[in-house]
Amino acid sequence: MSSYDYNIAVIGSGPAGQRAAVQAAKLGKSVVLIERQTNIGGVMLNTGTIPSKTMREAILHLTGYRERSIYGESYSVKQNISMQDILVHTNHVMGHEMDVLRNQLLRNNIELITATASFKDPHTIHLLSKDSNSQRLITAEKIVIAVGTSATKPKEIPIDGKRIFITDEILRLSELPSTLAIIGAGVIGLEYGSMLAALGIRVTFIDKSPRLLTFVDTEIIDTLVYHMRQNRVTLRLNEEVSHIEPFEDEQGPHVKIFLASGKQIVTESALYSIGRTGATSSLNLTAAGLEPNERGRLEVNNSFQTTVSHIYAAGDVIGFPSLASTSGEQGRIAAAHAFGLLSNRVPDVFPYGIYTIPEISMIGRTEEDLTNSGVPYECGKAQYREIARGQIIGDETGLLKLLFHLETRQILGIHIIGEGASELVHIGQAVLSLGGTLDYFIETVFNYPTLAECYKTAALDGINRLSA
């Protein structure tokens, strides 16, 4: 008989927490999943991945954005689109996914407790109920910390959740602004900015970096910038915000943003999207013998163990790559290792999906990386407009790039921008992960008409470059 209440306690119900809890349950262990919010699923389900991607689809549908190259730039499914119109589909999807998750926990006999967790000692967790304000202590042999992150709120920025807000608060907006400044042109900022620009909102990005998303292929980013400028997006790069002042005039409430360069930007609303902090402040980690870094994140080894061997951490709380897909795998591996089950580590090479308009996806190395490393490579390209499917769906500007070794023809990287990029990349992922070469795409038969044909076209383009 164990002296602990549970074999394992998982703190946080995001992708990492879910997968850790289910993996432990599949091993026959007693599992408790602790979530401080009323709604389970973490940032992924409530304010991040699922709502933002659903919001994107709703905007693309309501604006008729995808069909404009076919039916004309004025084509739209609905005029005067409101926030309520967008949230109809978003709330439906979130509700459905939440039900799926609850049923999964129920099927696997995972106990769900809604409470704020904090450590009493390395094996004891104090639970404070959010609803009844009741308290109790539980003990667990193993513990997984999967609390994720929260948007950083600097004290010098007067964030009020209405006029000046963070990304986690977008779904709570009652109405859409006519102009918006986004401070921080990272992945999340660019995703929301390109969505809102598609609605006709005048968006201005402010970022201290000289170029957008330095880890993404330059040509792909150039294409994204072109599309955003077509939607009247303004980019203020190499600029830093010194301070922000809300004010009100005869036209209503506004925000004035002062840049270090002396420029001033007046806008209706401002979205602060710089950085996220590990949500560990309420955990009392010192009682467990743990110390987070300055960003609230925890250090782990390859098995996702912290410096305290029976305590694991997974997901966004451990930092890079902070993707829902990799977080889930980290949680699974952590729980498997905790109970002696050998499991493969998270692959070093995995796909990125960036859900801007148009969307971007990539896997493997970039041209810049290969050039700096002195790797001899060549590039093959396929434009969507060359592919029958591209014409059918009305995407004539999409692009797929294949990077391959000059001598061995081994695939080194795949970079895509355009409709379905985040789905299309998985074909290349399989070939790259298995060490395949350019010849695979040349010799393979793809369905016609499909976007998958881009791989064959890009491969043939690469071969032509070798013989030119």
| Chain mean pLDDT for the chain | 93
| Mean pLDDT along residues 136-149 | 97
In the chain, % of residues over pLDDT 90: 84
Question: Is the predicted pLDDT of residue 73 greater than 80, yes or no?
Answer: no
The residue-averaged pLDDT of 40-50 equals: 91
What is the pLDDT confidence band of residue 468, given thresholds at 50, 70 and 90? low
Q: Which residues pair with 375 in a beta bridge?
A: none
pLDDT at 399: 97
Higher pLDDT, 147 or 80: 147
| Per-residue pLDDT tens over the stretch 114-130 | 999 999 999 999 999 87
Q: Where in the chain is the domain with CATH 3.30.390.30?
A: 358-467
Rounded average pLDDT over 175-196: 95
Mean pLDDT, residues 292-310 taken together = 95
Region of residue 399 (phi > 0: left; psi between -120 and 50: alpha; otherwise: beta): beta
Please tell me the predicted confidence (pLDDT) of residue 1: 38
Q: How far apart are CA 421 and CA 82, in angstroms?
A: 28
pLDDT tens sequence across 363-378: 999 999 999 999 999 9
Instruction: Label residue 153 by pLDDT band (50, 70, 90).
Output: confident
pLDDT category of residue 72 using cuts at 50, 70 and 90: confident
* pLDDT of residue 102 exceeding 60: yes
pLDDT above 50: residue 131: yes
User: What residue ranges of the chain are covered by domains with CATH 3.50.50.60?
Assistant: 6-151+277-338, 164-273
Q: How far apart are CA 134 and CA 111, in angstroms?
A: 18
Q: Fold for domain 6-151+277-338?
A: FAD/NAD(P)-binding domain (3.50.50)
Identify the pLDDT of residue 74.
78
What CATH architecture applies to the domain 164-273?
3-Layer(bba) Sandwich (3.50)
Question: Going by CATH, does the domain composed of 358-467 fall within 3.40.50.300?
Answer: no
Distance set, CA 449 to CA 81, 96, 384 (Å) = 34, 33, 12
In the chain, what is the straight-line distance between the N-terminal and C-terminal CA atoms, in Å? 74
Question: What's residue 47's pLDDT?
Answer: 87
Q: Return the pLDDT at 2.
A: 63
Q: For the ranges 72-86, 109-123, 236-250, which has the lowest average pLDDT?
A: 72-86
Dihedral sign of CA atoms 204, 206, 211, 216 in order = negative
